[in-house]
Amino acid sequence: MNATPLWTRDEALAATQATARGGDWRASGISIDSRTLAPGDLFVALAGPNHDGHDYVAAAFAKGGAAAIVRRVPSDVSADAPLIIAADTLAALNDLAAAARARAGARVVAVTGSVGKTGTKEMLKLALAAGGPAHASGGNLNNQWGVPLSLARLPREARYAVFELGMNHAGEIAPLARLVRPHVAVITAVEPVHLEFFASTAEIAAAKAEIFAGVEAEATAVLPRDNRHFGQLEGAARAAGIARVASFGRHIDADARLLDAAVDPDATLVFALIGDHPIAYRVGVPGLHWAANSLAVLLAARAAGVSVEVAAKALAGMTALKGRGARRTLPWRGGSIELIDESYNASPASMRAAIAVLAAARPGKHGRRIAVLGDMLELGATAPALHAALAEPLGDARIDLVFTAGALMRHLHDVLPASRRGEHAADSDVAARLVRDALRAGDLAMVKGSLGSRMGRVIEAIEQAARSGG
């Protein structure tokens, strides 16, 4: 356990105004999942739609948990177990988050957007860490549970902190933003995502602009200048009292202006203007979308107090994330294949970006570029047309073979030319078998789909086959 604890019993009691039971304790971390709990963590027993954390309190203590916050005392927990008993454990977690934010001396950045949130957050973590101790939300902990958990984990010695805020309905970001209270608010993009719940992209822009509801005094907003809703976002920022608005993109009026970018198999090289000052740097992940979002990172880092030059240099250390572009070379039938894992999520914009990355990558000798695509969800009535429209970027990118999975992807399969059309599967499990049987040494395959499409199963099946000899 660290010499300086993340939480003491007295601090947690003061924050939650709850009742203590058992002896004194000090926690080095905080967890809401007994499976990933580390020794010394404070366990918060949340009641979710599928599981009740109270059923896992004993397991948390068995793994070395320091204490637990509960609404009721589980029957399998010892009488002297260190507990905080609160009327509402989610409210208690939010109380801890608010207290952590209140005691923090960190400059705080919040990130939202239709696409690119997690990658931008990870780049920001790198850039800010170059200027001092930095904390960031883990994975995509960006909802009503993940944000307060990430904030409650904020170390008191952190100099910088960055949090990702997500949503799929209006009204979800505002309370998260008020909890985080950012000094810098970043919106990466507004795209046709979650159209099942919004009548237009203008409504999506309004929902993303809720991030301004929680900004600190003299905050900075970082906005996408090329986006069709830039004016709406800028107006919302001004209405929230934000005087400093910085923009990024290719637009001639962008404060961070992308002049050129080159993509190689391992990185993206960026040439840009920050104000009137030229800068060239390397982002350690391939893809033109990384170039644009890296400019948002430089503006946000500068607003938080890290120089542009220091932040830009740090981005060379960026690596692709699992489910978001991570690559693996696997042994396969006397040779090898390369697998690009984009299975975590998908939207029309991120699909096009992933297709462009596949186009820039190099297959092995006699290998093919293969796209394995699952349904993009939550697109409402526009879904069939948006799926079929992917035929154009796939053709422009000269992808050799396209496998599709799911009812919506059938619309793409049906409009693909016969030369490019792989097999269609009803679901990811069937697709996994079809793709596994079709792959040959030298191939380069990219797998992508919305989380609910479960395209991660295709990745798992190919990896398992590789371990078994291809």
d(CA 360, CA 366): 16
State the average pLDDT over residues 60-64.
97
> pLDDT at position 412, please?
98
State the average pLDDT over residues 198-227.
96
pLDDT of residue 2 exceeding 80, the answer is no
Percent of the chain's residues with pLDDT above 70:
99
Residue 147 contacts residue 165 (beta carbons within 8 Å): yes
Rounded to an integer, what is the distance from CA 113 to the centroid of its chain? 10
CATH annotation of 326-467: 3.90.190.20
Q: What is the CATH topology of the domain spanning 7-88?
A: 3.40.1390
> pLDDT at position 48, please?
81
> pLDDT at position 325, please?
86
pLDDT confidence bin for 435, thresholds 50/70/90 = very high
Work out whether strand 335-342 and strand 444-448 pair parallel, antiparallel, or are unpaired: parallel
State the average pLDDT over residues 333-353.
92
CATH 3.30.70.270 fits 104-317, yes or no: no
pLDDT confidence bin for 470, thresholds 50/70/90 = low
State the average pLDDT over residues 309-320.
96
Q: Buried b vs exposed e over 39-60: b needs ≥16 C-beta within 10 Å?
A: ebbbbbbbeeeeeebbebbbeb
State the average pLDDT over residues 37-44.
97
> pLDDT at position 456, please?
95
State the average pLDDT over residues 423-434.
96
pLDDT of residue 67 exceeding 80, the answer is yes
Enumerate the CATH 3.90.190.20 domain ranges in the chain, comma separated. Answer: 326-467
Q: Which tokens belong to 241?
A: 């009292």
Residue that wins the pLDDT comparison between 416 and 321: 416
User: Which amino acid is located at 445 in the chain?
Assistant: A
Residue 453 contacts residue 430 (beta carbons within 8 Å): no
State the average pLDDT over residues 23-30.
96
Enumerate the CATH 3.40.1190.10 domain ranges in the chain, comma separated. Answer: 104-317
> pLDDT at position 1, please?
40
State the average pLDDT over residues 380-405.
95
State the average pLDDT over residues 91-112.
97
Reported as a single tens digit per residue, the pLDDT across 253-277 is 999 999 999 988 889 999 999 999 9
Reported as a single tens digit per residue, the pLDDT across 417-427 is 999 999 999 99
Percent of the chain's residues with pLDDT above 90:
88
Residue that wins the pLDDT comparison between 266 and 397: 397
Residue that wins the pLDDT comparison between 375 and 325: 375
Enumerate the CATH 3.40.1390.10 domain ranges in the chain, comma separated. Answer: 7-88
> pLDDT at position 313, please?
98
State the average pLDDT over residues 299-323.
95
Reported as a single tens digit per residue, the pLDDT across 438-447 is 999 999 999 9
Residue 183 contacts residue 194 (beta carbons within 8 Å): no
Greatest Cα pair distance in the chain:
70
Q: Is the pTM of this model over 0.85?
A: yes
